[in-house]
């Protein structure tokens, strides 16, 4: 057991944070392999991978924002409606007032920011639970969508469609691949190697144990192989296709938000607020500001996701955004976030989202009906979390436990968690 964990630790990065990803990533790999075999190799074809990325990028973008909301101890049920509302506003503005599409995108982000400020205000400064505020928002903005759109479908201009359905242009010599995608892949390989080197330096400075070189070699080889494989697949699709632009937007967002949540003061504050709001406040964290920012950020990302979907659908319609919030929330929880907040990672949520996406896609390729797909997705969500809870209780290996931090609120040493501790702060203070 300990040897396996050692190996796991070595291969998946010396730090525990990387070791945590192990469980979920292996689930993802298992799903890919399963469907790859089951669909006779269709899952990993260029065409399918490109389709999956453009189909689910907007859900994954939502998952990034939702992760931060959930880590801070809130929830956002309004993302689908906000996305739909933004979509119709932008589509109408471009169609009826002939707003140029770049300004349309800007307008959409501003609409998202305004909605976010509205919801953040109620959550952070008035103290209405986010569940209620966003439930209200869910109805409010769905209604606003229908009011503005008259339940019509409004087409969007060609240029705008690029963010949802566009690809990188074909430039340079004919290599048989999309050259820009190849360049991106190359950059990714370089990035991975650079990061590994950087991490090793950091560990050396910390005087921590250094993994043997062969381990690093293997790890890099695996990662580079995956990147090369993915690059060739995305670059080798039909002429005119490549890594979708929505996928690039997603990757940029994931990198940026991973960095933000992991390495910056602002990111730490989100975890602190979700882990113990009162303790965070007494440590000088500006609670209201953090809550406001998290809610606002979510709405901006929802607006972006809405625009990407509209762009991909070439039109904004009244059905846009329906039950997106549920997909995003499911992704975050499958990815190991805690319902009570304070735990979870961006990369975990992305992996969780990919698990759902590939499951969806694989079942569809298999011709399984959407009714069954929903049943299976529901069960997967339930089992993923239940399996984890069960294992944690038994003190055994836990998939999500390895993914998230190794300790949680309800540690076995603390089972008699008192209801009083969860009650009002007031009481603890009266006992002075």
Partner 1 sequence: MRKLLLRSITAVGAAALLTLSTACSNEREGSSSSDSAGSKGFSKDSLIGVALPAKTSENWVLAGDLFTNGLKNAGFKADVQYAGASTTVADQQAQISSMVTKGAKVIVIGATDASQLTTQVKQAKDEGATVIAYDRLITNTPDIDYYIAFDNFKVGQLQGQALIDGMKAKKPKGPWTIELFSGSPDDNNSKVFFDGAMQVLKPLIDKGDIVVGSGQKDIKQTATQGWKAENAQQRMDSLLTSAYSGKKTLDGVLSPNDTLARAILTSVKGAGKPVPIVTGQDSEVESVKSIMAGVQYSTINKDTRKLVAETVNMIKSLQKGDKPTVNDTKSYNNGVKVVPAYLLPPVIVTKKNAAEAYANDPKLAPLTK
Partner 2 sequence: MTDTAPNLLEMRSITKSFPGVTALAGVSLVVREGEIHAICGENGAGKSTLMKVLSGVHPHGSYTGDIVYQGKKARFDGIRASEQAGIVIIHQELALVPGMSITENLFLGNEPRRRGSIDWKSAQRRALELMEQVGLREDPDTLIKDIGVGKQQLVEIAKAFAKDVKLLILDEPTAALNEADSQHLLDLLRGFRERGITSIMISHKLNEIEAVADTITILRDGRSIESLDVKADGVNEDRIVRGMVGRELDSRFPDRTPDIGEVFFEVRDWTVRHPASDERMVCKGSTFNVRRGEIVGFAGLMGAGRTELAMSLFGRSYGTWLSGRVFKDGKEIRLKTVADAIGHGLAYVSEDRKSIGLNLLDDVKTSMVAAKLSKIARRRVIDPVREHRIAEDYRAGLRIKTPSVDEGVVKLSGGNQQKVVLAKWMFTDPDLLILDEPTRGIDVGAKFEIYGIIQRLVAQGKGVVVISSELPELIGLCDRIYTVFEGAITGEVARADADPEVLMKQMTATKKSPTP
Residues contributing to the site for partner 2 (CB under 8 A): 16, 202, 205-206, 208, 263-266, 268-269, 271-272, 275-276, 278-286, 342-343, 395, 405-409, 411-421, 423-432
322 contacts: CB under 8 Å, gap ≥ 6: 80, 84
- The binding track of 30-49 with respect to partner 1, each residue x by CB under 8 A or -, is ---------x--x-xxxxx-
On whether the CB atoms of residues 78 and 70 are closer than 8 A, the answer is no
Specify the length of the chain in residues: 432
Q: Which is nearer to partner 1, 136 or 232 (CB)?
A: 232
In the complex, least distance from residue 265 CB atom to partner 2, rounded to whole angstroms: 4
Instruction: Report how far residue 391's alpha carbon sits from residue 395's, in angstroms, rounded to the nearest whole number.
Output: 6
* Residue 55 binds partner 1, judged by CB under 8 A: yes
Among 110, 128, 165, 199, binds partner 1 (CB under 8 A): 165
C-alpha distance from residue 249 to each of 84, 157, 240, 272, 306 (Å)? 19, 20, 18, 28, 13
- 18, burial (CB in 10 Å: exposed 0-12, middle 13-18, buried 19+): middle
367 binds, among partner 2, partner 1, none (CB under 5 to 8 A by kind): partner 1
Question: Nearest-CA neighbor of 270 among 111, 65, 40, 30?
Answer: 65
Q: Helix, strand, or coil here: 154?
A: strand
Instruction: State both tokens at 291.
Output: 């809550």
Please state the closest distance from residue 367 (CB atom) to partner 2, in A: 44
Out of 146, 258, 276, 340, which residue is the one contacting partner 1 (CB under 8 A)?
146
Give the nearer residue to partner 1 in terms of CB position, either 240 or 406: 240
Residue 153 CB, shortest distance to partner 1, in Å, is 4
Measured CA to CA in angstroms, residue 144 lies from 318, 325, 348 at distances of: 11, 17, 34
Query: Which residues, other chains included, contact 284 with Cβ-Cβ below 8 Å and sequence gap of 6+?
Result: none
For the bound state, the minimum distance from the C-beta of residue 282 to partner 2, rounded and expressed in Å, comes to: 6
Task: With contacts defined by CB under 8 A, name the span among 202-210, 216-224, 295-303, 396-404 that binds partner 1.
Answer: 216-224
Min dist CB 15 to partner 1, Å, is 20
Q: Taking CB within 5 to 8 Å according to partner kind, which of partner 2, partner 1, none is near residue 9? A: none
d(CA 167, CA 241): 5
Q: Least distance (Å) from partner 2 to the CB of residue 345?
A: 13
Tokens of 4: 């396996």
- List contacts with partner 1 (CB under 8 A): 3, 7, 39, 42, 44-48, 51, 54-55, 146, 150-153, 155, 161, 164-165, 176-177, 218, 221-222, 225-226, 228-229, 232-233, 236-240, 309, 312-315, 317-320, 322-323, 360-361, 364-365, 367, 369-371, 373-374
């Amino acid at each position: 057991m300990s040897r396996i964990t050692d190996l796991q630790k070595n291969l998946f990065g010396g730090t525990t944070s990387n070791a945590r990803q192990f469980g979920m990533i292996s689930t993802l790999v298992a799903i890919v392999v399963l469907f790859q075999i089951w669909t006779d190799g269709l899952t990993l074809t260029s065409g399918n991978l490109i389709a999956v990325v453009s189909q689910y990028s907007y859900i994954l973008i939502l998952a990034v924002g939702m992760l931060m909301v959930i880590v801070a101890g809130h929830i956002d049920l309004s993302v689908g409606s906000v996305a739909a509302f933004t979509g119709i506003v932008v589509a109408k503005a471009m169609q009826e007032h002939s707003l140029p599409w770049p300004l349309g995108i800007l307008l959409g982000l501003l609409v998202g920011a305004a909605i976010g400020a509205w919801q953040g205000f109620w959550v952070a400064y008035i103290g209405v639970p986010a569940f209620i505020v966003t439930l209200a928002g869910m109805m409010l903005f769905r209604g606003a969508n229908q009011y503005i759109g008259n339940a019509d479908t409004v087409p969007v201009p060609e240029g705008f469609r690029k963010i949802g359905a566009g690809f990188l242009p074909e430039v340079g010599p004919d290599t048989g691949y999309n050259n820009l995608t190849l360049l991106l892949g190359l950059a990714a390989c370089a990035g991975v190697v650079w990061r590994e080197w950087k991490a090793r330096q950091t560990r050396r400075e910390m005087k921590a144990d250094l993994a043997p070189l062969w381990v690093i070699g293997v790890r890099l080889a695996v990662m580079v192989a995956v990147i090369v494989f993915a690059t060739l697949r995305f670059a080798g699709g039909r002429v005119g296709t490549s890594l979708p632009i929505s996928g690039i937007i997603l990757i940029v967002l994931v990198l940026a938000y991973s960095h933000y949540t992991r390495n910056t003061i602002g990111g730490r504050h989100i975890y602190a607020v979700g882990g113990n709001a009162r303790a965070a406040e007494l440590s000088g964290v500006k609670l209201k500001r953090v809550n406001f920012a998290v809610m606002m950020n979510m709405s901006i990302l929802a607006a972006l996701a809405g625009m990407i979907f509209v762009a991909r659908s070439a039109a904004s319609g009244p059905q846009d955004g329906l039950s997106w919030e549920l997909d995003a929330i499911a992704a975050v929880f499958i990815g190991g976030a805690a319902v009570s907040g304070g735990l979870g990672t961006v990369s975990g949520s992305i992996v969780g989202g990919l698990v759902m996406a590939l499951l969806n896609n694989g079942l569809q390729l298999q011709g399984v009906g959407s009714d069954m797909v929903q049943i299976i997705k529901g069960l997967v969500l339930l089992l993923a979390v239940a399996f984890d809870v069960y294992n944690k209780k038994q003190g055994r290996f836990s998939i999500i436990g390895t993914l998230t931090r190794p300790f949680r609120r309800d540690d076995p040493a603390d089972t008699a968690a008192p209801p009083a501790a969860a009650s009002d702060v007031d009481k603890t203070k009266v006992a002075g």
